[in-house]
Amino acid sequence: MNITKNNYEEFLIDHLHGELNGNLLKEMELFLQNNPSVKEEFELLQKTILVPDEKIIFQNKDLLLKNEKSTPLFITYKRPISIAASIVGIVFATYFFTQKSEDTTIAVNENKKIDTVQTIVKMNDSIASTTNLPITATQKNTIVVVKKQTKTNIKSSNIYHQPKKKLIEKLEQKNIPQPEIVVENKEIIIPQKETPFIENKLKEEMPTIIENKKDEALVANNTTSKGAIVLNEKKQPRLFQFINGIMRTSQKIQQKKEQLANTEILVMVGNKKIINLNQN
């Protein structure tokens, strides 16, 4: 096989994917040496290789473990759980495994208000990722868990030992202190006492601004007579957006906490209410 300018592309991609060997590999290496423009092309192709984000991990590995001696129904829980919670779990499992395996899908209003449901699902994703709860949809003040009636889903439903109180606790841990910062239409006013908070946030999350104070320094001349710093959306856009983002996140978490405090947690299959976990 001769690799030429007319047929090299296919081999180049194979080389990129480590699929060439033996004589063909040697031939390709020689071809690259003799053709700098193709070598450049190869280097560009190497840039198209994606690197996985190692921070993304499957967090519930204990859910994948099974105790060889037990029936496949139950997973070996590594965390201590209360006897009461275990009983609730057994009731759940018994109920679900005596049912037919039809997919019950989202338990609220099904197809009628799909937009609303999708919006709420999106909103709940952040709570679910914080708590590892299988929250799938809400209707008004009701969080509905368990959307499908499959063994996998039931096993992932550790709701019975992470009820509402735990959920609120998790959100509390995520709490961001609410600084007294005034966000107006095009300006943000940071009182002098809040500047350390903002500086710390900047150091943590946007160190380049601290290093590179040319466009939007906190120490600029834009202070009021009381020492407060005034940021203008046009003059300091990045800093404006950054602080605006902090304030909005803080408000959202506050809203979620309030919403959750007034929320009834139900487990439903179809339109049938199975259990109310509100009193846990």
Name the residue nearer to another protein (CB basis): 157 or 263.
157
Tell which one of 24, 25, 45, 260 touches another protein (CB under 8 A). 45
Contact between 140 and another protein (CB under 8 A)? no
Q: Judged by CB under 8 A, how many residues of this single chain contact another protein?
A: 39
Q: In whole angstroms, how far apart are CA 180 and each of 129, 143, 197? A: 29, 32, 10
Name the residue nearer to another protein (CB basis): 229 or 236.
236
Contact between 1 and another protein (CB under 8 A)? no
Tell which one of 41, 187, 194, 233 touches another protein (CB under 8 A). 41
> Closest distance between another protein and the C-beta of residue 199, in Å?
25
Tell which one of 2, 21, 34, 48 touches another protein (CB under 8 A). 48
DSSP string of 183-198?
E-SSEEEE-GGGHHHH
Name the residue nearer to another protein (CB basis): 134 or 191.
134
> Closest distance between another protein and the C-beta of residue 241, in Å?
13
| DSSP-derived secondary structure letter, 221 | S
Beta-carbon count within 10 A of 100 CB: 6
The piece of 40-48, 202-210, 214-222, 259-267 that touches another protein (CB under 8 A) is: 40-48
Sole residue written with tokens 């009461």: 84
Q: Which of 121, 78, 74, 106 is nearest to 93 (CA)?
A: 74
Contact between 113 and another protein (CB under 8 A)? no
What is the amino acid identity at position 76?
A: T
Q: Measured between alpha carbons, how far is 273 from 276 in angstroms, rounded to an integer?
A: 8
Contact between 60 and another protein (CB under 8 A)? yes
Burial-class residue 160 by CB neighbours within 10 Å (0-12, 13-18, 19+): buried
Tell which one of 25, 81, 128, 176 touches another protein (CB under 8 A). 128
Q: Measured between alpha carbons, how far is 14 from 261 in angstroms, rounded to an integer?
A: 57
Contact between 151 and another protein (CB under 8 A)? yes
Contact between 53 and another protein (CB under 8 A)? yes
Contact between 47 and another protein (CB under 8 A)? yes
Using the CB atoms, write b or e for 67-88: b if 16+ within 10 Å.
eeeeeeeebebeeeeeeebeeb
Contact between 136 and another protein (CB under 8 A)? yes
Q: Measured between alpha carbons, how far is 191 from 268 in angstroms, rounded to an integer?
A: 49
Measured in residues, the chain has a length of 280
Segment 72 to 111, residues that bind another protein, using CB under 8 A = 72
Contact between 5 and another protein (CB under 8 A)? no
Name the residue nearer to another protein (CB basis): 86 or 132.
132
Tell which one of 4, 5, 7, 9 touches another protein (CB under 8 A). 9
Query: Strand ranges (DSSP E) for the chain?
Result: 135-139, 142-145, 182-183, 187-190, 229-232, 264-269, 272-276
Residues that bind another protein (CB under 8 A): 9-10, 13-14, 16-19, 41, 44-45, 47-53, 56-58, 60-61, 63-64, 66, 72, 125, 128-129, 134, 136, 148, 150-153, 155-156
